Amino acid sequence: MSWRGKAEDMGHVEEIGPSGKHGFGLKLKAHLRRFWWLYLILFVACTLILVFCLLYVAFPHISQHNINDSTLTIQSLVLLNPTPDSFHLVQTSVVGNGSPYHPNMDAFNASLSLDGAAPYAYVEIPQIHATAQATTVVDQDVKITDLDAFNAYNVAVLQNENVKLKVKGRTALHEMGFPTATVNYDKSVTMKGLNKLTGFNVTNFSIELTPEADGTNMIGTVYIPNPTVMTISMGNVTFNNYIANTPTFIGTTTLTNLTLHPGNNTLPMRSQINQSLVITQLLSTFKDGMLPIDIVGNSSIYNGQHLPYVEEAFKSVTQHITLNAGAALKAVGFDLSKAGGSPP
């Protein structure tokens, strides 16, 4: 055998494994050298699938999750220029976002309702850049779409210490190069209510024995606390007055151009009272001159039109006060003690 033959045989031996067959590693290398283009295509395809899943599945899911975790706080709510089927709304809110993403949220149409009830109106929420604390202002005329629902809302606000307002709509989020994500905006906001106007009182009053041209024969001031962030224009609000715990009607009291502002409200009142009936009650039953009165809402008129939702609210709550009528009568020369009653 020649050296050349031996060399060829030695080279051949180097490529043969101990068993005389090709090793797995060598086969794999040969396979990859032959089909590398196929594996490159598979890698690119898997990468694209992963990217598309992130963009079109994960990002919308993350966006909806972040919307669900965001907060909504109403800082101020002003209702002006009321009509029987509309009002002007100026609402300042803060949207809290704890996410590291700060997307832009498109303007959208949102329904307003008591939590769990039918919507009473729709408003246009402006575009928001969702930073950690983003302020948004709604300033628009609002059409009441369901009067029964709005009546229920106003009754709830007047009667309860707290109420839940639902804001609901559908909008789109935009974040950097990600595709637009459509999300559902559904928030319940807990707000302070008027709590039956607890603290309502007539702080001072005087009696006029000779009525004015409109029949007013008692004037004074009324104190109404407003623990809410709401400013509410209600027009001329008239209340019926009764001897407490009886159906005995003694007259009406009107608060002209009533607008409740947050905090303490001291307002002028004008009353048309049946003075003869009051004096009869004082002489027969309330001889100490202290007259207990129940006050119940009657009507609300703004620009000559009744506001049914304000009327429904005030009719749902009765205020109980006690007036020192004996002292007021004595101030105008009528002394109950000399007329058969006890000194005030």
pLDDT at 103: 85
pLDDT at 62: 75
User: Token digits for 134?
Assistant: 């983003």
CB 173 within 8 A of CB 162: no
Write out the two tokens for 97. Answer: 């976002």
User: In this predicted structure, what is the pLDDT of residue 177?
Assistant: 64
Amino acid at 283: L
* CA dist., res. 151 & res. 117, Å (int): 12
Give the SS3 label for residue 2.
coil
Instruction: Give the dihedral sign, CA 323/327/333/339.
Output: positive
Contact 254, 308 (CB under 8 A): no
CA gyration radius for the chain? Answer: 38
Place of tokens 């100490």: 288
Domains of the chain: 67-193 (2.60.40), 196-338 (2.60.40)
Q: pLDDT truncated to tens, each residue of the chain (344 aa)? A: 444 444 444 444 444 444 445 576 676 666 656 655 555 565 555 554 445 445 445 566 777 888 888 999 999 999 999 999 999 999 999 999 887 878 889 999 999 999 989 999 999 999 998 888 999 999 999 999 999 999 999 999 999 999 999 999 999 988 766 778 889 999 999 999 999 999 999 999 999 989 999 999 999 999 999 999 999 999 999 999 999 999 999 999 999 999 999 999 999 999 999 999 999 999 999 999 999 999 999 999 999 999 999 999 999 999 999 999 999 999 998 888 776 644 44
Contact residues for 76 (Cβ-Cβ < 8 A; gap 6+): 90, 91, 92, 229, 231
Question: What is the reported pLDDT for 10?
Answer: 42
DSSP structure string for 7-76: HHHHHHHHTS-TTSS--HHHHHHHHHHHHHHHHHHHHHHHHHHHHHHIIIIIHHHHHHHHHHH-EEEEEE
Q: What span, in angstroms and rounded, lies between the C-alpha atoms of 184 and 187?
A: 10
Q: How far is CA 112 from CA 65, 156, 247, 296, in A?
A: 22, 14, 38, 28
The reported pLDDT for the residue numbered 102 is 82
Question: What are residue 186's phi and psi, to 5 degrees?
Answer: -145, 100
How far apart are alpha carbons 319 and 159 in whole angstroms? 12
Q: What is the pLDDT of residue 280?
A: 94
Distance, in Å, from the CA atom of 254 to the CA atom of 241, rounded to the nearest integer, reads: 11
Contact of 173 with 70, CB cutoff 8 Å: no
* Residue 336 CB partners (closer than 8 Å, separation 6+): 282, 283, 287, 289, 326, 329, 330, 342, 343, 344
